[in-house]
Copies of this chain bind each other. A is one copy, B any other.
Amino acid sequence: MTEAERDAYHAEKMRKKKEARTRMLATKTEERGLLIVHTGKGKGKSTAAFGMVFRAIGHGFKVGVVQFVKGAWGTGERDILEKFQDFVTIRAMGEGFTWDTQDRQRDLAAAAAAWKQAKEMIADPSYKMVLLDELNICLRYDYLPLEEVIEVLKNKPRDTHVIVTGRNAKDELIEIADLVTEMTEIKHPFRTGVKAQAGIEF
C-alpha cells in the first residue's frame, strides 16, 4: 500500500467508525443520576472517584464526600479539596483502617455514624454527586446492614450520582449499579521493593 492509499483507507475506516458511533449515541437519550461502583484489587478506585469529584466541581456542581475508612486518602487530595469548600462537603468518620484500630466496637460505631451522614447527603437534592469512599470495606466486614444500604442506594434521588468505592463489592450492589468498573493489578512496584510515595500512594 502506498502512503496515499493508506491515508485513504484510514479515512474510510474512521468515517465508518464515526457513523457507527453517532448512530449508537443517538439511541442514548436518557439523562439521570448514576450509581457507580469502582471495585477490584488494583489501584485507582478512589483516585478515579476523586477525579470525578474534581470534574463535577469544575462543572459547578455541589459534591458530598463520606470517607468510610480514615487513612484511605492522601493529604494531597484533601489539601486540594479544601480549596473548594464552597462546592464540596467532606465527612470523614472512620478512625483508621481496621487493622490499626483492632477495635470492632469502635469500627461499628464509626461506620454507623458515617452511614448516617451518607444518608443525609443522598437525601439532599442540592448534592449532585455523593462519593461513598471505601463503603465496600464496611459492607464486607458486616459493619453496616447490607439490605438497608441497598434500599437507600436503589431509592436515591433520580438526578444524584452516587459513587461507591472499595474492593470486594457485594453482588447485591453490582446488581443495582449502572456503571461498574473493576481495577485489576497487573504490576505493582511493591514487588520490586519500592515504598509508598507522596503523589502516588498518598
Binding site for B on A (CB under 8 A): 6-7, 10-11, 14-15, 17-18, 21, 24-25, 27-32, 34, 36, 38, 40, 42-44, 46-52, 54-59, 61, 74-80, 83, 98-105, 128-129, 161, 174, 177-190, 192-200, 202
Q: A25-B195, A30-B194, A46-B51 are in contact. List 13 more A-B contacts (CB 8 A).
A: A7-B105, A28-B190, A28-B193, A29-B193, A31-B195, A43-B181, A50-B54, A51-B51, A58-B76, A129-B199, A174-B187, A178-B189, A181-B185
Task: Say whether A54 contacts B51, CB under 8 Å.
Answer: yes
- Pairs A-B, 6 closest by C-beta atoms: A58-B76, A55-B76, A47-B51, A44-B48, A28-B195, A180-B186
- This chain's copy number in the assembly: 2
- Of B57, B78, B102, B200, which is within 8 A of A52 by CB? B200
With A99-B17, A188-B179, A199-B128 as known contacts, state yes or no: A58 contacts B30, CB within 8 Å.
Answer: no
With A31-B194, A42-B181, A199-B161 as known contacts, state yes or no: A74 contacts B47, CB within 8 Å.
Answer: no
Task: Say whether A47 contacts B55, CB under 8 Å.
Answer: yes
With A174-B186, A181-B184 as known contacts, state yes or no: A196 contacts B54, CB within 8 Å.
Answer: no
Question: Could you tell me the distance between the alpha carbons of A190 and B21 in the complex, rounded to whole angstroms?
Answer: 12
**Can you identify 22 A-B contacts, CB atoms within 8 angstroms?**
A7-B103, A10-B102, A11-B102, A11-B103, A14-B100, A15-B102, A25-B196, A28-B196, A30-B193, A38-B44, A43-B179, A44-B44, A44-B51, A46-B51, A47-B52, A50-B55, A54-B77, A55-B74, A61-B199, A179-B187, A180-B187, A183-B183
With A48-B44, A52-B47, A183-B183 as known contacts, state yes or no: A200 contacts B161, CB within 8 Å.
Answer: yes
**Which residue on chain B has the smallest CB distance to residue A36?**
B200
A6 CB contacts on chain B under 8 angstroms? 104
